[in-house]
Chains A and B, each alone.
Chain A
Amino acid sequence: MKKSGNILFCGVGGQGILLASELTAEALLAQGHDVKKSEVHGMAQRGGSVEAHLRYGEKVHSPLIEPGGADLLLAFEIMEALRYLPYLNKKSKVIVNTQRIMPPAVATGKTVYPENILEELTSRGLTVIPVDGFEIAKAAGNVKAANVALVGALSKLLPIPEAAFIAAIEKRVPARFLEVNLKVFKAGRKAVK
Chain B
Amino acid sequence: MLKALFQILIFPGVLFLFVFGLCGEFIDRKLCARFQNRIGPPWFQPLADFIKLVSKEEIIPEEADIKVFKLMPVLALTASSVSILYIPTLAERSAFSFNGDVIVVLYLLTLPTFTYFLGGWYSRGVYSMIGAVRSLTQLFAYEVPLFLVILASALLADTWSLSGMVAFYSRHLGYWFCNIIGFGVALICFLGKLEKVPFDIPEAETEIVAGSFTEYNGRLLALIRTSFNIEMIVGASLLAAVFLPFGLNLWPALIFPFYLLQVLFIIVIITFLRLLFARLRLDQMISFCWRFLAPLAFLQVILNLIFKAVLPR
The yes or no verdict on A and B being binding partners is: no
Interface residues of B (CB under 8 A from A): none
Chain A residues in contact with chain B, CB under 8 A? none
